[in-house]
Amino acid sequence: MVERTDDLTARFVKALDRLEVPRRATPAFSHRPARTWIPTAAVAAAVVLVALVLVPVLGQQAANPSPTPVPTAPSTHTPGLVAPTPLATTGAPSGTDVFCGVLSANSITSGQGSGPGTYELRPATSVRTGAISWERFGGWTTGRPPLGTYVCALIAQGAPIGGFQTEVRPNETGYITSIVPNGFVLPPQCRYVGMPSAEDGDRPAVVWRFDCGASGNRDARGSLLAAFTQQGWSPCAPAVAPGTWRKDTSRLTVTEASGAPGDLPTLTQRLYYYGGGGPPGAESAGCL
């Protein structure tokens, strides 16, 4: 295509060279410069040449149009931001709790809450309630371990008793290895001995036996004094509740050992749901 265009251009130049281009004479008095004119035949030849050059070029462009740009979808990535990882969920479904404790016979033998296939974890604990004297439920009909076994079970809330859902085994989510007082940790030189026990009555309680060594057991209250203070417990009046400390809804009472062989001091927890470790006004009354 380029060679053809150059050939036509050369022919056009030779044709112009053969044309005589006369000039009009300019009068001597005229202040305008002489004007050059080109005959009509030369103009027509130029037009034809331009047409011969442009028409093939335009035709080729029409036969091979440039590709239409394809719009690119905007990026949805925002630099510096990472999609949040869904939070892992643990624990029991809504309306249920994992309770752990010593599997025991139901202490209610008649009326509401009694009946065949009903049991208690006695004492018991859960993440929601902390240590409590018992949790009563029914429905564990198969695969039940012997009474006196420490177990954990998923129990649905209900009235007058909860409903057994499934056993929670060691190393499974929700399993609690031991029952300990709410909001209190023994000092390093002391340890709990055996499983705690539950007491009934007007104010149910959980009782732990503990051992602080021969010298520490001779003054158990003194052995735990620093631990109570450091962990935010407040003492009750000695004359009203000797050896008793209060924190939130709990009271913990330290009872010295009797001195008999094998006897150990105890730590007794009672719950008061009025706040401050006692009923209304208990703070001023010395933790009655």
pLDDT digits (tens, 9 = 90+) for 13-61: 555 455 444 444 444 433 444 444 444 454 444 444 444 544 454 455 5
Which segment of 56-65, 77-86, 165-174, 253-262 scores lowest on mean pLDDT? 77-86
Residue with tokens 């070029």: 57
Q: Which residues pair with 255 in a beta bridge?
A: 266
What are 184-206's pLDDT values in tens digits? 999 999 999 999 999 987 778 99
Helix spans in 106-265 (H): 213-217, 220-230
Residue with tokens 């703070």: 283
Residue 128 CB-density burial (10 A; 0-12 exposed, 13-18 middle, 19+ buried): exposed
Domain-wise residue ranges, the chain: 96-168, 191-271
What's the pTM? 0.64
Q: How far apart are CA 28 and CA 101, in angstroms?
A: 132
Residue 246 CB-density burial (10 A; 0-12 exposed, 13-18 middle, 19+ buried): buried
User: Hey, what CATH class is 96-168 in?
Assistant: mainly beta
68: three-class secondary structure by DSSP? coil
Six-digit token string for 177: 């290895």
